[in-house]
Amino acid sequence: VVQQAAASGHEIGGHTVNHVDIVTLYKSDTNTLKSELEGCATDIRSHIPGIRYLSFAYPYGSGWQQSADAAAARMFVKRWYINGRGVNGAEGNIGPVGYDRYNDYKTFADYYYQTGGVDIGETVTITTFVGYLESALRNGGWTILMYHTPSAYSRQLDSILARKDSLWITTYENATRYHKERNTAVMSPISITDSLWTFRLTDGYLPDSIYDHPLTVRMKVPPLVQIEAIKQNGQFLPFRQDTALQFNAVPDNGDVLIYKKDTVYPWCDSNLLAAPRHLTYRVLSSSKIYLSWDTLSANACIKDYEVYMDDMLIATSFINSWTVTGLNDTKIYKFYVKARNFRDKISPSNNIIYARIDTIASSVPQNLKCTGTTLNSITVCWNASTDNIAVASYEVYVNNVFFASTKDTCFTITELSVNKFYLVYVRASDEGGNTSAASKTINIKTSDLEEFQHEISVYPNPSANDFYLNISSPETTFSEIIISDITGEIRIVQKRNNRTKYD
C-alpha cells in the first residue's frame, strides 16, 4: 500500500520506528534515539528504493517546542530530514506567515523544524476548514493540513480544488524545498542578444540532489517584446506572458534560454507533431470535468494544446490537462484536443471522448462476508453494486483506513498479523468519481498458529490412501494443527488423541 501511495505522488515521511517521544528519549538515551530516526529512514528506503524521504512528523507532537531539550532533539532530526512538523494552530507556532518571514528563515534555519500542522478530524466543520484556507491566502504563507482519517479529506476536497488557482496544493516536502530554494535563489544574466536572452538560475549552497524543485520566475520584459519559447536543459518550459513573463525553472539545472518571437527553431521536427494520445476525464463536481492527455516529444516543439468541447475551441492549455467548468449533469459533452507547435502548425485531434457529469453514487455493496482466512490474510466477498451509468471499482477499508481498490467483488487483504481482529467494509466507486456509502462493517480474525519445536513421525498407509502423524509432545494440547503439502496448499488437521489423521 505504501509503495502504491508513493508511486501515485504521495509523500512518505518519517515518524520514528516505534512512535517514541524524541524529546524524552533524547534526555535518556541518545543512541536509541539515533536508531529510531535512522532505522525509520533505512526501513522505508528498503521498501521504496529511490524515495527522497525528507519530511518528519514528531510523534505526540513533541519536538517543535522552543525548549532547550526540544532544540537539542531536533539536532538529531536534521541529520536525516529537511523539516519537522508538530501539531498546533493552522499557521504553526512560528510558521512562515507572509513573505516578510522569508528573511527570518534565511537566518534561523531551525524554523523549518518548528512548523505546526492543524489536525483535520471528523469534527472540523467545512466553515472552519475554509477558514484555514482563507488564512493562507490572506497572509501569503502556508497552512499545513494533517489528516488521520481519509473520510474527512474526501468531504473537503471540493473546497480545496475551488481555490487551486490561488493556492499551491502540494506536499510538506515540496513546500519546504521550494521555500528554501526561494530563500537562496539568484537569477543572473549571462548574455543578451536581439533574439536570445540567456540567464543562470542558482540556489547557492543547497545540494542539487535534494533541492531540484522548479521555482516560479516572474520577470519584466521590455514593452512590445513577445517571447516565443523558453528552454532549459534541452526541454521547453511552459510560460505565460501578460504584464510580465512567468515560467518555472529548476535551479542549477542549466542555463535558461529565452527566445524572442520570430526566432528560427531548427530543432523543431514537424513530423513529430501528432495528435495527443489517451485523452481521459474525471468528474470533479456537479459542474466541473478534469481532462488530461499524454504529452508529445520535446522535439515536436509543442507550444500549447487546444481544447475543444462540442467542436468549439474553449481553451488553450500550456500543460497536458484542463479543467472545464460551467457544465450541467443533463447533457453529454464531446471533447478532443489538438497540439500546436512553435511554428503554429496544428496537429489532428486526438481520440474523441464523450463525458457526462454523474453526481449519483452507486448503490451500497451488500452481503459483505468473509470467505476465508489464513495466518496473515483475509478474503472477503460481496454482492455487486448497481449504478446509473457504471460501477468503476470497489474501495476496501481495513480498520477505517483505505487499503486498496478492485474491480472484482472479492478481495484478499494481505500482510496482516496472526490471530488478530480486523474491521472491514467496502464502498463502490463509479466512473464519475462518486463513492457510495459504506457497506456493513464485519469483524474478522486471522488464523492462529502456535509455533512449536517437536519431533514428528509420519506413518504411511498406502492401502487406505492416507497417513498418520505421531507428535512427541504429550505435555502440549493442540486445538488444531496446520500442515502445508508439497504444493504449498494449507490443510487443517483436527487432533485425535496422540494420533492425527491427515484427510
Statement to judge: residues 308 and 337 lie in one domain: yes
The answer to whether residue 265 sits within a structural domain is no
**Residue where one domain finishes, among candidates 225, 260, 295:** 260
Tell me, yes or no, whether 160 and 91 share the same domain: yes
For residues 397 and 483, membership in a common domain is answered with no
Best CA proximity match to 210, nearest among 246, 186, 188, 184: 184
165 occurs within a structural domain: yes
Query: What local confidence, expressed as pLDDT, does residue 282 receive?
Result: 81
Residue 179: φ, ψ to 5°: -60, -45
- Decide which of 404 and 329 is more confident: 404
In a domain, 92, yes or no: yes
Asked, for residue 84, whether it belongs to a domain, the answer is yes
Condensed to tens digits (0 to 9), the pLDDT of residues 35-52 reads 999 888 888 888 888 887
For residue 480, what pLDDT is reported? 54
What local confidence, expressed as pLDDT, does residue 270 receive?
62
Domain boundary, last residue among 128, 153, 181: 181
Indicate yes or no: pTM above 0.85.
no
Residue-level pLDDT at 101: 46
Whether residues 286 and 340 fall in one domain? yes
Mark whether 382 and 349 lie in a shared domain. no
Q: Domain for residue 79, yes or no? A: yes
362 phi/psi in degrees, rounded to 5: -70, 165
| Mean pLDDT, residues 314-338 | 88
- Does residue 498 have a pLDDT over 80? no
Q: State which of 215, 238, 260 marks the end of a domain.
A: 260
Integer Cα distance of 423 and 135 in angstroms = 38
- CB proximity list for 288: less than 8 A, separation 6 or greater: 161, 323, 324, 325, 327
Cα 136 from Cα 471, distance rounded (Å): 69
Q: 137 in a domain, yes or no?
A: yes
321 shares a domain with 467: no
Residues 54 and 169 in one domain: yes
C-alpha angle 335-168-240 in degrees, rounded to nearest 5: 60
Shared domain for 65 and 145, answered yes or no, is yes
Q: Are residues 409 and 299 in the same domain?
A: no
pLDDT of amino acid 345: 82
User: Residue 494's domain spans which residues?
Assistant: 456-501
Structural domain total, the chain: 5
| 47 alpha-carbon distance from chain centroid | 16
Residues 345 and 416 occupy one common structural domain: no
CATH number at residue 21: 3.20.20
Does residue 221 form part of some domain? yes
Whether 238 and 222 map to the same domain: the answer is yes
Query: In this model, does residue 362 exceed pLDDT 60?
Result: yes
Task: Write the CATH number for 349.
Answer: 2.60.40.10
**CB-facing half-sphere around the CA of 198: CA atoms within 13 A:** 6
Specify whether 28 is located in the same domain as 122: yes
Position with higher pLDDT, 458 vs 74 = 74
Contact indicator for 73, 35 with CB cutoff of 8 Å: no
> Of the spans 113-122, 192-201, 463-472, 488-497, which averages the highest pLDDT?
192-201
CB of 365 closer than 8 Å to CB of 394 = yes
